Amino acid sequence: MSHSILMRVEKLCFEYPSVRALDNVCFEVETNSITALVGPNGAGKSTLLRCLAALDTPLSGKVYLDNINVTEHAREAHRNIGYLSDFFGLYEDLTVEQCIAYHAAAHGIKKHDISIQTLRAAQRLDISDRMQQKAKELSRGLRQRLAIAQAIVHEPKLLLLDEPASGLDPEARHSLAILFRELRDQGMTLMVSSHILTELEEYSTHMLMLKAGKIISQDTIGIHNESMCDFRMVLAENYTDLASVFSNIDDVSVIQIDDKQVWLSCSTDVFKQHELLRYLIDKGLPVASFAEEKKDMHETYLSKIQEKKS
Amino acid sequence: MISNPEFRRNIWIEMSIHRLISMPLMLSILLLLAYLTNGSELNQGVAYGAQFVALVLTMLWGANMASEAVLVEVREHTWDSQRMSAMPAWSLMWGKLLGSTIYTWYGTFFCVLVYLFTSELTALMTIKSAVLIIASGLLAQALAMLLALMFIRKEDKFVRSPSILFVLFAASTAWSFFSLAMHLEATLKWYTLSFDSINFGLISILLFLAWAWLANYRLMRAELQMNNYIWIWLSFVVFLMVYVAGFFYEIPWKPYVNLSSSLLVAFVVATFSTYLMLFSEAKDPVNYKRLLALLTEKHWHALQGSLQCWMGALALAILSGLIFSIEMMSEGMQPMLMIAFLLFISRDICIVLYLNFNTNRKRADMTAVFYLFVLYVVFPAIFSSIDISTGLFFPDDNKAWVSVGAALAECTFAFWLMRRRWLRYYS
């Protein structure tokens, strides 16, 4: 299945006076995806997000958002980008409604649409019951929600979030994950940087790994591939010539075979999965378990880092 | 309804009911005091009292608000969201400048009303004075915000607000124009023209106010990642050269009485602008790297947008210096002194850049100021204390050739140091 590309980054380099923070970074962001931007401290994640948001000017390279050159036409790009910094601030003395309405107006939303868009953003973030509360009176989780409401009030195509869950309790983090999935379902594309891989795993479709300013890996995260997913099948006992059993099955590709285990990729369609399982049992395979294998982001991350080191 | 979102936001914050009531109450008490101390009469004394309060409100309080309007956004981490808004630079600039100071203007409005009704000057003079009060306040606020914008372009992280320094500079500059204009009976000469002080002061303030607003607009554009070309800055420096030189037109410059003092003053103004901007602008090596790349790739259009202001001012200093040298030669004099001046300026620039090209650039400018102080003050003082006039560290009229030689050697050495450091870290 082909995906349209929302953002394209070409040979992006960014330097601080004493260090190259981004070194020939190239990648693409699919429309309607959630990309987890991961990497160790100082890898260049925040710098990359700031370059994508056209807040910092790279030394060289290009960033295109829907064919708009972000660096050259920053103002145009800003209409389609929402950005939330890791150290975001709020206008503490304004009410929630005023904060969102201000950002709506600042993003050029027409006067008669401001109140509608303000309410819509508040409802999406589930803070519409606190419209008259001042920002300084909100809890950490609610402040985060207000900041995101401000960032999405103009319905950007791309939402960039730098460490959005830092400082939040597990419950707030979980509800943030639900929110990101909802935003994606509503058509938005997200890029989220975080250290907390388990949290990213809850909602990300892609993972972009950055180390020392370089992209070391860009993967899709299996469970979110729309047509295929990974499975692990465990057998009760050894089966000779296991590979030949799978060689004639359509829409199934074997990833790895051990003595009593097979990792394979097959359709997400549950009826096709059922047919596959029945076929294997009919063939006499002693199937003990057949379960979806989630690609563990943490393991992937560590293995990639190790791979890079070696 | 007010359509500028930034202006409206400031009104939400600044104009609460409580504040709207408290300002006229406080002013009433202050003006009552002025009334009682002036023999319980509504006379010129009360008018001056109202004028004083208006100046304090606009030049001090207002300037502080204008400066903080920018600084607080950076400090409280709201600046990025403003930079990413769709607001045009002009709207953001005036929304911030007038919005953040709206409360002080609310108070000033009452003061100016009292001034208009109690002034014993002629009607025309009263109106001019009132306009002068307002224009001075606007100038102080525009300058304070300008300094804040310059500051955040240089320092993107800071803990202590330098606002008080900006307010002092802005208020004293606006005050100097105001006090020049308020010599009501005096006249002054500018080139060959004579002006009443109040007219000249008023025109000057309005002109500088327009430049200050334009400068704020351009810095706001830069903050919004829009390109600024250097021509507006060059126009301002030329304006400043012409403006300041007008005061020295008929003052002979000893011993070269036949030479144009104005031309020399224009050179001094351009040189001063070069140093001012050299120390005010961020000297990020990465920007210079980008600049060099544009230069080598001959992207002339983009280059105009990347040149720093000190470079433009330096070009004007060199140009005016050369014109002055030509005039010197036409009078049969050696232009060596001017050449020495230009070489010493180049040496200083190399020293400043050398220190800024270090990997640890913290306090590089302060270190440069210290080195220049040693070169221009301490060394000459040591030599003069032993009765030796050398011309080694500052152009010396009596030893012009020595000065040129020394300046050339020092400039070459400073350039070599700067280039070596550049090649070491950034090539």
| pLDDT means over runs of 10, chain B (427 residues) | 88 94 94 86 87 96 97 93 93 96 96 93 92 96 97 83 93 93 82 89 95 97 92 96 88 62 90 96 91 90 90 96 87 82 95 91 90 92 78 78 90 96 86
* Residue of B392, B345, B384, B351 whose CA lies nearest to B368: B351
Are residues B312 and B411 both part of a single domain? Answer: no
Question: CA-CA distance, B167 to B62, in Å (whole number)?
Answer: 9
Q: What is the distance between the alpha carbons of residues B91 and A107, in angstroms, rounded to a whole number? A: 12
Which residue among B198, B226, B254 closes a domain? B226
Residues in chain A with pLDDT < 70?
Answer: 1-3, 222-227, 294-297, 299, 303, 305-310
Q: Which residues of B touch A97 (CB under 8 A)?
A: none
DSSP annotation of B284: -
A209, A39 Cβ separation under 8 angstroms: yes
Q: What region, left, alpha or beta, does residue B156 occupy, with left being phi > 0 and alpha being psi -120 to 50 degrees?
A: alpha
Q: Quick one: closest CA in B to A53, which residue?
A: B84
Res A148: pLDDT: 92
Q: Decide if B45 is inside a domain.
A: yes
Contacting residues of A for B1, CB less than 8 Å apart: 111
Domain span holding position B39: 1-226
Q: Please state, in angstroms and rounded to a whole number, the distance separating the CA atoms of residues A180 and A124.
A: 10
Q: How far apart are CA B230 and CA B307, in angstroms?
A: 7
Residues forming a β-bridge with A62:
A10
Angle at alpha carbon of residue B84, lines to B80 and B88, rounded to 5°? 120
Please state, in angstroms and rounded to a whole number, the distance separating the CA atoms of residues A133 and B93.
29
Q: Are residues B188 and B257 in the same domain?
A: no
CB contact under 8 A, A74 and B225: yes
The partner residue sitting opposite B84, judged by closest CB among A78, A90, A111, is: A78
Looking at the structure of chain B, the number of domains it has is 3
For residues B238 and B214, state if they share a domain.
no
Contact B224 A15 (CB under 8 A): no
In terms of domains, do B271 and B320 share one? yes
B161 is a domain residue:
yes
Which of B182, B198, B226 is the C-terminal boundary of a domain?
B226
Q: Are residues B295 and B414 in the same domain?
A: no
- What does the pLDDT look like over A62-82, one tens digit per residue? 999 998 999 889 999 999 999
Are B226 and A75 inside 8 Å of each other by CB?
yes
CA distance A37 to A159: 13
Q: Does B281 share its domain with B322?
A: yes
B-chain CB neighbours of A15 within 8 Å are 286, 289
Q: Quick one: CA dihedral B78, B84, B87, B89, positive or negative?
A: positive
Domain check: are B281 and B371 in the same one? no
Specify the length of chain B in residues: 427
pLDDT at B345: 95
- Asked whether residue B264 is domain-assigned, the answer is yes
Residue A107 DSSP code: T
Say what the pLDDT of residue B253 is.
Answer: 63
Terminal-to-terminal C-alpha distance of chain B: 55
Q: What is the pLDDT of residue B262?
A: 82
Mind listing the pLDDT tens digit for each residue in A46-64? 999 999 999 999 999 999 9
Q: Are residues B147 and B283 in the same domain?
A: no
Residue in chain A nearest B289 by alpha carbon: A59
Tell me, yes or no, whether B137 and B250 share the same domain.
Answer: no
- Say whether B78 and A54 touch across the interface (CB within 8 A): no
Considering the domain architecture, whether residues B219 and B239 belong to the same structural domain is answered as no
CA distance B83 to chain A (A): 8
User: Where on the phi/psi map is residue A161: left (φ > 0), alpha (ψ -120 to 50), or beta?
Assistant: beta
Query: Whole-angstrom Cα distance, residue A310 to residue A180?
Result: 35
Q: Tokens 């600024």 identify what position? A: B228
B288: in domain = yes
- Where residue A212 falls (left for φ over 0; alpha for ψ -120 to 50; beta otherwise) is left
Last residue of a domain, one of B204, B226, B248: B226
**Subunit contact A106:B361, Cβ cutoff 8 A:** no
Is B343 within the bounds of a domain? no
Q: Which residues of B touch A108 (CB under 8 A)?
A: 86-87
Residues B352 and B309 in one domain: no
pLDDT of residue A223: 47
Give the integer Cα–Cα distance in Å for A145 and B293.
43
B381, B276: one domain:
no
Candidates A92, A102, A118, A153: best to mutate against B (most CBs of B within 10 A) is A102
Chain A interface disruption, residue of B18, B77, B225, B294, most A CBs within 10 A? B225
Nearest to A295 by CA among A188, A190, A220, A189: A220
- Chain A nearest-CA distance from B408, in A, is 30
* In a domain? residue B341: no
Report the gap between the CA of A175 and the closest CA in chain B (Å).
Answer: 24
Do the chains contact at A89 and B226, CB–CB below 8 Å?
no
Angstrom distance (rounded) from CA B276 to CA B293:
26
Say whether A189 sits in a helix, a strand or coil. Answer: strand
Answer whether residue B14 is part of any domain: yes
Asked, for residue B294, whether it belongs to a domain, the answer is yes
Q: Taking an 8 Å Cβ-Cβ cutoff, which residues of chain B contact chain A? A: 1, 3, 5-6, 8-9, 12-13, 76-78, 80-87, 224-226, 284-286, 289-290, 293, 359-361, 425-426
